[in-house]
């Protein structure tokens, strides 16, 4: 993990709520594992402990029974120790249950320059690298649905989301539709966290903080994009794409659209600012104004921070900060709903990416309350929408089809898989915005499954992509053949 900015965030982990079944599923169990002390790598300090507290708090507020929540904080240094922890945590799981394994540690790229990554287990005295195959072997015998949440640098490489893409990495998770993997970063990215001098539980990663907010730890589940009170794995991933600007969350799942996650039934923690709602994050250079609103729950000063993505990195050192206009002599915003329109004039070019962070300021301390990825597209663009991928996908190869969508400028793309009759088989992206990358490329992956998680029949299928570029909506298709 890489250190970002220093922020104060208060935690309260309460272990007194009784059990209630997870939404539309059986029982939910979770094992939260953090490795913070290592022999060969820099220690992660209290960052990992903070992640366990905030993820654990979110699950408890979702009425996951304390007896179904296991925590290993700095105690796992070998694969055997992790295997024992997994067996103990999920021993009684059944086919209707959901088992969640959250793992926060170092991700170490392979020295063979093959794009693979190893998760480093460490307890301060013992240290062991763990491969994707070893991780899968630990959880494949657990009954029911399994959700792996990996918070580590280069974690996307565990599921083949890496650079270079050749030769293709055969992820062991692809062969098992009961396993879902959510990572904090692509294979070529670091994961970032923020520190706090005054927080006993330590720093917290942007990824873990966004997951907790998305599942409703502070009130309304921000990842509930449909407004139905539920959060699917697909909704959470879509939310993370804009709520965690510093890295690009990756997802491998054959049925993310139907897998329901535990959502908070009551607000366990509170922040002075909550209930953030944003308008479109894709702006145009002619009118680069971001509209958003939030609720002030306690009188507070509000600070905004804008970080530009430049020269292939987030320019933390030259971030611009400014205060919200106060509404009283104490320079505080009083409680109530607030609507803001923020005009961005920071980009030296006509297009690019920015990160907005919103803080509550109290006693000279900053509490991060929201983040957003913002992209600016040229008012007039000659960009042409492109879709590139292989023209075949064989189920027997145990590979995903990598689909590259780009136009040379930031876009929001909707990408679908259609059968030979034009019927929707799978929605891979719904108005999903590109992240900072060469040519603003959006990489999507299809495992040959339908929305319900079933493997599609061999035959001809169409990849259909559309996006608005320079005021004009463009559509493009490509035909592929799916084999046995």
Would you kindly state where each structural domain of the chain is located, as residue ranges? 2-252, 273-377, 386-483
Domain 273-377, CATH 2.60.40.2550 — does that match?
yes
Q: How many CB atoms lie within 10 A of CB 40?
A: 10
**Candidate ranges 17-31, 253-267, 406-420; pick with highest mean pLDDT:** 406-420
Residue 345 has pLDDT above 90, yes or no: no
* pLDDT reading at 422 higher than 70: yes
Band (395; pLDDT cuts 50, 70, 90) = confident
State what percent of residues in the chain have pLDDT above 90: 61
| Range 425-430 average pLDDT | 92
pLDDT for position 21: 34
Report in angstroms the alpha-carbon separations of 22 from 66, 265, 306, 411: 14, 11, 38, 36
Residue 197 is predicted with a pLDDT of: 44
Give whichever of 245-249, 309-313, 415-419, 437-441 has the largest mean pLDDT.
415-419
* Cα distances (angstroms) measured from residue 266 to each of 52, 63, 67, 232: 19, 9, 19, 18
| Residue 346 confidence class, pLDDT cut points 50, 70, 90 | low
Residue 169: the pLDDT is: 64
Q: How confident is the model at residue 219 (pLDDT cuts 50, 70, 90)?
A: confident
Same fold flag, 2-252 and 273-377: no
Radius of gyration of the chain from its Cα atoms, rounded to whole angstroms: 22
Q: Which of 29-38, 283-292, 465-474 has the highest mean pLDDT?
A: 29-38
> Residues 100-150: pLDDT tens digits?
999 999 999 887 666 678 999 999 999 999 999 999 999 999 999 999 999
> What's the mean per-residue pLDDT of the chain?
86
**pLDDT confidence of 7, banded at 50, 70, 90?**
very low
Is the domain 386-483 a CATH 2.60.40.4070 member?
Answer: yes
Say how far apart CA 162 and CA 148 lie, in whole Å: 18
Q: What is the pLDDT of residue 362?
A: 77
Residue-wise pLDDT tens digits, 164-201: 555 556 788 988 889 999 999 998 888 887 754 443 33
Q: Which residues contact 349 (CB under 8 A, 6 or more apart)?
A: none
Return the pLDDT at 307. 92
Does 329 score more than 60 pLDDT?
no
CATH number of 2-252: 3.40.50.1460
Backbone φ/ψ region at 188: left (φ over 0), alpha (ψ -120 to 50), beta: alpha
179-183 and 145-151 beta bridge pairing: parallel
H or E element in which residue 210 lies: helix 206-214
């Amino acid at each position: 993990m890489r250190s970002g900015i220093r922020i104060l965030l208060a935690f309260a982990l309460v272990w007194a709520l009784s059990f209630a079944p997870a939404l539309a599923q059986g029982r939910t169990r979770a094992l939260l594992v953090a490795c913070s002390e290592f022999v060969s790598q820099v220690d992660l300090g209290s960052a990992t402990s903070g992640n366990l507290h905030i993820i654990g708090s979110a699950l408890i507020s979702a009425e996951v029974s304390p007896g179904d929540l296991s925590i290993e904080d700095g105690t796992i240094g070998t694969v055997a120790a992790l295997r024992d922890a997994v067996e103990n945590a999920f021993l009684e799981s059944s086919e209707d249950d959901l088992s969640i394994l959250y793992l926060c540690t170092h991700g170490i790229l392979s020295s063979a320059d093959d794009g693979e990554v190893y998760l480093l287990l460490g307890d301060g005295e013992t240290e062991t690298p763990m491969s994707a195959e070893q991780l899968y072997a630990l959880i494949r015998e657990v009954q029911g649905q399994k959700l792996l949440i990996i918070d580590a640098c280069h974690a996307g490489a565990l599921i083949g989301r890496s650079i270079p893409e050749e030769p293709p990495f055969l992820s062991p998770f692809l062969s098992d539709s009961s396993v879902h993997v959510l990572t904090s970063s692509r294979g070529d990215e670091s994961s970032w966290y923020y520190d706090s001098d005054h927080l006993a539980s330590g720093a917290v990663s942007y990824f873990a903080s966004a997951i907790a907010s998305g599942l409703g730890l502070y009130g309304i589940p921000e990842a509930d994009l449909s407004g139905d009170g539920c959060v699917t794995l697909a909704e959470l991933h879509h939310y993370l794409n804009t709520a965690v600007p510093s890295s690009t969350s990756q997802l491998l799942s054959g049925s993310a659209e139907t897998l329901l996650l535990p959502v908070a039934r009551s607000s366990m923690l509170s922040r002075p600012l909550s209930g953030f709602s944003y308008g479109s994050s894709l702006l145009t250079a002619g009118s680069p104004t971001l509209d958003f609103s939030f609720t002030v729950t306690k009188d507070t000063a509000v600070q905004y921070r804008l970080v530009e993505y430049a020269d292939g990195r987030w320019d933390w050192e030259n971030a611009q900060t400014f205060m919200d206009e106060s509404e009283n002599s104490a320079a505080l915003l009083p409680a109530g709903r607030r609507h803001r329109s923020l005009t961005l004039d920071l980009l030296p070019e006509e297009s690019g990416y920015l990160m907005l962070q919103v803080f509550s300021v109290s006693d000279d301390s900053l509490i991060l309350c929201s983040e957003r990825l913002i992209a600016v597209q040229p008012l007039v663009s000659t960009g042409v929408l492109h879709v590139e991928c292989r023209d075949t996908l064989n189920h027997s190869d145990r590979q995903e089809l990598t689909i590259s969508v780009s136009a040379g400028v930031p876009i929001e793309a909707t990408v679908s898989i259609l059968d030979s009759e034009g019927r929707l088989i799978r929605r891979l992206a719904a108005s999903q915005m590109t992240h900072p990358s060469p040519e603003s490329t959006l990489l999507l992956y299809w495992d040959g499954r339908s929305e319900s998680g079933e493997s599609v029949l061999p035959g001809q299928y169409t990849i259909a992509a559309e996006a608005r570029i320079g005021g004009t909506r463009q559509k493009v298709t490509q035909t592929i053949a799916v084999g046995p």
